[in-house]
Amino acid sequence: MATATYLVTVSGPDRVGVGAELFEAVSTLSAHGGKISDVAQITIKGALVLCCEVTVDGSITETEIEAAILRQNIVADGITATVLLVDTCEVNAGGRLLVTLLAPSISAEQLSGIFNAIAASSATCERIVHLASYPVDCYELVVRGLDHSVLRENVTKVAKTIGLDLAVQKAGLHRRAKHLVVMDADSTLLQDEVIDLLADECGCAEEVSKITAAAMAGEIDFSESLRRRVSLLKGLDESVLATVRSKIRLTPGAKTLLRTLQRLGYVPAVVSGGFEEILEPLLKELKVEYLKANHLEVKDGKLTGNVVGEIVDRAGKARALEQFAREVGVPLEQTVAVGDGANDIDMLSVAGLGIAFNAKPVVQEHADAALSVPYLDAVLYFLGISREEIENN
């Protein structure tokens, strides 16, 4: 016997027992092969919308289903119920993507732009979750479509035009599996550039700044620029390291990010072109166990102006992420990299999710997602973690 699929929608003021009454009504259809094929519910400020997709054999009509619902006293106290025959052939096929939108405030006009881009990609939005309303606004959309590359391209283009931060990821259970989250230090985890703080103490800030500018202009590579800058620190007393460490400022939201990751069983790590002598004591306080950074050579209580061992450069950061992933025991698909500079590009590209944090356009082009807000804990929203979960620390 042919089957038919109906969408039963119950809406109105939420009250105790509505779900029980609806599913009891559906259970009375078992003699007609009635079974639930899908269920979804949302409640916003006490207003309920509960949808149930029901498959039955062709012997029962829409009117008989409505009667079964009425017998359960669901329609009362302002609650209504509708039954609609669904043409299952019209249901959009394809896999699901998660589209995360973030900004200080998200307007209806911006949402309109994103949803028009979704429609232009022949995709549909199945679910919307409001992950946060402060200190930033963030929505996560579950989008289904056949051509993910077209969808990604269209929503990314629109998001840049209308000023939304965006992440587009494949949906799946891996979202809540164990993750390794690797962060750059200077201008990402930290507000400061440690080499600049050291240069201030040494009285060579101007010279260091010139070398940094040359490196950013592509005139010299990172390793050479680091050696030149560190050479200017020769003779600096070792005690200055503690002085600089005391001046370091964490990026807003950094402690919240680390605390939440650790509570949820994720593993935070830091990979930096900076210096282990500065970072290690700080990260120990923050309970971060994984660190890869450069070593300053110290002899007789003075900096020699040399870097000891292999320099952690652009390629070295990517290798460190891969090494940490092996040690932690997670596949690269479950790694997240966060950075702001050109020497983070390889790391962002290797990670399952690369996030450019207040980065220049060239870095954003190599990342899966970009954040332009000043709060580092906004990274959590791209992992599907809501503000409510964050505050339950």
Beta bridge partners of 165: 102
Q: Region 361-374: what's the mean pLDDT?
A: 93
Is-contact 198 248, C-beta < 8 A? no
Residue 49 CB burial class (10 angstroms; 0-12, 13-18, ≥19): middle
| Residue 90 confidence class, pLDDT cut points 50, 70, 90 | very low
Residues that are catalytic:
184, 186
Instruction: Report CA-CA distances (Å) from 380 to 132, 147, 269.
Output: 10, 27, 15
Is-contact 139 127, C-beta < 8 A? no
| Residue 91 confidence class, pLDDT cut points 50, 70, 90 | very low
Instruction: Report domain 95-171's class.
Output: alpha beta
Whether the predicted pLDDT of 178 surpasses 50: yes
CA torsion angle for 95, 101, 106, 111 (degrees, to 10)? -30
What is the reported pLDDT for 93? Answer: 55
CATH dotted code for 180-194+248-391: 3.40.50.1000
Residue type, 356: A
Could you give the CA distance from residue 326 to residue 320 in angstroms, rounded to a whole number?
10
| Cα 14 off chain centre by | 32
Is-contact 174 124, C-beta < 8 A? no
| The CATH number fitting domain 3-90, selected from 3.40.50.720, 3.10.20.30, 1.10.1040.10, 3.30.70.260 | 3.30.70.260
108: left (phi over 0), alpha (psi -120 to 50) or beta: alpha
Q: Region 89-116: what's the mean pLDDT?
A: 86
